[in-house]
C-alpha cells in the first residue's frame, strides 16, 4: 500500500528527528510519500497533489476520532479496498478540502501541524503493529 502525507508548511526541528524515526519504522509496512507545500498553499494546490485513486483523509479538529484498535481495523478495510491512502494536514490556518473522502481528528485539542504529521505516522505504525499482533504500547 502506498501512503501519501501532504502537509502544508515545512517540518522543522524538533519534529524532524521524530518524522525520520517513524518513516524508518513504516518502511516494512508501506511505501511512504511525503509532500510539503508552502505555508500559503490553498485547497486547489493541495487537491492537485492528492493521488488520483487514493482515499483522501483530511485532518480536522472538528471531525470524528478513532482509538488505535479502531484505526487498525479501518486501515485493514482501506487496504482491502485496493486504494492507496492520502492524509492531508493543513497549515496553521487549517484547510477545507472538498476532495476529501473523510475527515479525521486526533481529538479536540489544537496541535501544531508539524506535530500532527508525526502523529499520523506514529498511528499508522501502531495500526500495522496491531494488525500483525505485535506489541504496540511502547
Residue ranges of the annotated binding site are 59, 90, 106-111
Contact partners, residue 12, CB within 8 Å, separation at least 6: 114
User: Does residue 6 contact residue 87 with C-beta atoms inside 8 Å?
Assistant: yes
Collapse the DSSP code of 19 into the 3-class scheme (helix H, G, I; strand E, B; otherwise coil) and give the result. Answer: helix
User: Does residue 17 contact residue 62 with C-beta atoms inside 8 Å?
Assistant: no
Collapse the DSSP code of 36 into the 3-class scheme (helix H, G, I; strand E, B; otherwise coil) and give the result. Answer: strand
Binding residues for S-adenosyl-L-methionine: 59, 90, 106-111
Best CA proximity match to 128, nearest among 17, 25, 2, 41: 25
Give phi and psi for 115, each to the nearest 5: -70, -35
Amino acid at each position: 500500500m502506498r501512503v501519501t502525507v501532504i502537509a502544508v508548511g515545512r517540518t522543522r526541528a524538533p519534529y524532524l528527528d521524530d518524522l525520520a524515526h517513524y518513516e524508518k519504522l513504516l518502511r516494512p509496512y508501506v511505501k511512504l510519500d511525503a509532500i510539503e507545500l508552502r505555508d500559503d498553499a490553498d485547497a486547489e494546490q493541495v487537491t492537485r497533489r492528492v493521488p488520483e485513486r487514493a482515499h483522501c483523509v483530511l485532518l480536522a479538529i472538528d471531525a470524528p476520532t478513532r482509538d488505535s484498535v479502531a484505526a487498525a481495523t479501518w486501515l485493514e478495510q482501506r487496504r482491502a479496498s485496493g486504494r492507496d491512502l492520502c492524509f492531508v494536514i493543513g497549515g496553521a490556518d487549517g484547510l477545507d478540502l472538498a476532495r476529501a473522502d473523510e475527515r479525521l481528528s486526533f481529538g479536540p485539542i489544537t496541535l501544531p501541524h508539524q506535530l500532527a504529521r508525526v502523529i499520523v505516522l506514529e498511528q499508522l505504525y501502531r495500526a500495522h503493529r496491531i494488525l500483525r499482533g505485535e506489541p504496540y504500547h511502547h
